[in-house]
Amino acid sequence: MIRPKSNRQIIPWSLFFAALFSLSLDYWNWDQPVGIGPLHLPVWIYGFILLQLLLAAGIYLFSRKFWREPSQSE
């Protein structure tokens, strides 16, 4: 059985990813008038692009610290 290594260290990252997930459930936006942004795309689309950039950045930083070759981390 392989267990997650240091749960305490991973908790802040779990919260970060959970926060990103929560932001994707942007129900407060749903009944608002649609704002139009560059390329005449709805503004909220840019919000989703930003969320994915943040997710990529989060995974990059998380993996630098916690996701290493087995000899070092497992």
Partner 1 sequence: MVTLSIIILYLLVTLAIGYYGYRIGQNHPDDYFLAGRDVGPVVLFFTLIATNFSAFFFLGFAGAGYRIGYSYYGIMSFGTALVALTFYFIGHKAWLLGKAKGYITPPEMIGDRFRSRPLKVLFLIVMVIFTVPYLALQPIGAGILLQELTNGLIPYFQGAVILTVVIVLYVFLGGMRSVALTDVVQGVIMFSLMFLAVWVVADALGGLSAANARVYALNPELFSREGAGGYFTPRKWFSFMILWMLAVPMFPQMFMRFFISRDVAALRTSARLYPLVTALLFLCPVIIGVIGHIPFPELAGKEADKILPLMLTRFTPEWLGALIMVGALAAFMSTMDSQLLALSSMLTRDLYRDLFKTRVTYETQVQVGKILIVILSLLGLLIAYRPPATIFQIATQAFTGLAILFPTTIAALYWPRATAGSCIASILVGEGLLIGLHYELIPASFTLGFLPVVPLVGIAALMIVVGSLVSGKKPAEEM
44 is a contact residue toward partner 1 (CB under 8 A): yes
Q: How far is the CB of 25 from partner 1 (least distance, A)?
A: 6
Phi–psi pair at 71, nearest 5 degrees? -60, -30
12 contributes a contact to partner 1 by CB under 8 A: no
CA 31 to chain centre: 24
Do 51 and 18 form a contact (C-beta atoms < 8 A)? no
Interaction of residue 2 with partner 1, rule CB under 8 A: yes
Q: What CA–CA distance (Å, rounded) separates 25 from 21?
A: 7
Q: Which is nearer to partner 1, 15 or 56 (CB)?
A: 56
- Other CB atoms within 10 A of residue 62 CB: 16
Which residues in this chain contact partner 1 in the complex, by CB under 8 A?
1-4, 17, 21, 24-27, 29-30, 32, 34, 36, 38-42, 44-45, 48-49, 51-53, 55-56, 59-60, 62-63, 67-70, 74
